[in-house]
Chain A
Amino acid sequence: GAGVSQSPSNKVTEKGKDVELRCDPISGHTALYWYRQSLGQGLEFLIYFQGNSAPDKSGLPSDRFSAERTGGSVSTLTIQRTQQEDSAVYLCASSSTTATYGYTFGSGTRLTVV
């Protein structure tokens, strides 16, 4: 596609429920990244996929968080048993292998846990 697409744009869920956030990267981009941005805060790195290599999961805050990338394209970030502190904007980005021209970001999914 022309840009990075994320869905849903907004998600309200009850504490304890599982949620899935979707990211559709730019066609041909081999690298895909997930970040979390809490209100008024900077970017918190979560996970990084590069081609067929094992993902870099070093930023995942707990084992309730997981992500997969199917067929080297679409990625899903899953949060199990959501907590109120999970409320944030989840941003996805993609890039070429070497990221020379930086990352292209999606508009994000705003997650609210009530």
Chain B
Amino acid sequence: GEDVEQSLFLSVREGDSSVINCTYTDSSSTYLYWYKQEPGAGLQLLTYIFSNMDMKQDQRLTVLLNKKDKHLSLRIADTQTGDSAIYFCAEKKGTGTASKLTFGTGTRLQVTL
């Protein structure tokens, strides 16, 4: 497909793990990113993964990359109320001055008590 796809909404209980999924478009994309957007704010880069990696872990965040299926996921362990936000995945296409990110539609994560 031409669009980077994400499910629109995910609800989890505080303390549980959250898994946000993303299907990207270009198997030659070199970098994949996860951004977080809190209400009334811009997008904040959470983490990124190079395409030759399968997994990257950073504290409570784990990124998994399946290049064959063009599937990217973000797992948040021990989800907290402060994790409530919209999460965007993005892929980097092109090289040099033609580099550009394409963003997914965003997944709204709601954390309940």
| Contact yes or no, B101 A103, CB < 8 A | yes
Of residues 71 through 102 on chain B, the ones whose CB sits less than 8 Å from some CB of chain A are: 88, 90, 92, 95-97, 99-101
| CA gap between A93 and B48 in the complex, in Å | 17
- Residues 41-72 of chain A: 1 if any B CB is under 8 Å from the residue's CB, otherwise 0? 01100001011010000000000000000000
| CA gap between A53 and B26 in the complex, in Å | 25
Q: How large is the interface on B (under 10, 10 to 19, 20 to 34, 35 or more residues)?
A: 20 to 34
| CA gap between A43 and B43 in the complex, in Å | 10
Closest-CB distance, A82 to chain B (whole angstroms): 22
Closest-CB distance, A50 to chain B (whole angstroms): 5
With a cutoff of 8 Å between Cβ atoms, the chain B residues found around residue A103 in the complex are 43, 45, 101
In this complex, how many residues of chain A approach chain B with their Cβ under 8 Å: the count is 22
With a cutoff of 8 Å between Cβ atoms, the chain B residues found around residue A50 in the complex are 97
| Contact yes or no, A97 B97, CB < 8 A | yes
| Contact yes or no, B97 A51, CB < 8 A | yes
Q: Which of A53, A100, A101, A108 contacts B97 (CB 8 A)?
A: A53
The secondary-structure label for the interface of chain A is: loop
Of residues 9 through 65 on chain B, the ones whose CB sits less than 8 Å from some CB of chain A are: 31, 33, 35, 40-45, 48
| Contact yes or no, A107 B99, CB < 8 A | no
Residue on B with the closest CB to A51? B97
| Contact yes or no, A98 B99, CB < 8 A | yes
> Which 9 residue pairs across A and B have the least CB separation, nearest first?
A105-B42, A42-B105, A105-B43, A99-B99, A107-B42, A98-B99, A102-B33, A43-B103, A42-B106
